[in-house]
Amino acid sequence: MTRVVRRDVSASVSADQPDVWTVLDSEAADDVADALAQSLSRCLRADGGWYADFTLGNDHVVVFANRVFRYRRGDLARRAEVVAYGRTVGVPEHQLDWTD
């Protein structure tokens, strides 16, 4: 773990999300990325629009409950698919803002 931060996000959360979030920043070796993504997908809540994301070389990995997406950074069509999926699981529009 490289950093743990608590953030007051009360101005931008949905009704299903808490006002204070705990953000975990970490680093891991590239060869554990798939296992990390799968573990996260099993741990994230299915309700409330939760997701995690990270970069892996030139790829961006976005993890939802029971679903993992991986696409080449800059692939706008694939990113749009992931954003569309995020909407279907309740991610508020303004939280679909990860950077590639």
Asked whether residue 15 is assigned to any structural domain, the reply reads: yes
Identify the domain containing residue 60 by its residue range: 3-92
Q: What pLDDT shows up at residue 2? A: 81
Asked whether residue 100 is assigned to any structural domain, the reply reads: no
User: How many CB atoms neighbour CB 5 within 10 A?
Assistant: 9
Alpha carbons 86 and 61: distance in angstroms, whole number: 13
Number of domains in the chain: 1
- pLDDT tens sequence across 1-17: 688 999 898 888 878 78
Strand-pair category, 20-25 with 3-8: antiparallel
- pLDDT tens sequence across 31-80: 999 999 999 999 999 988 899 999 999 999 999 999 999 999 999 999 99
pTM (two decimals): 0.87
C-alpha of 69 from chain center: 10
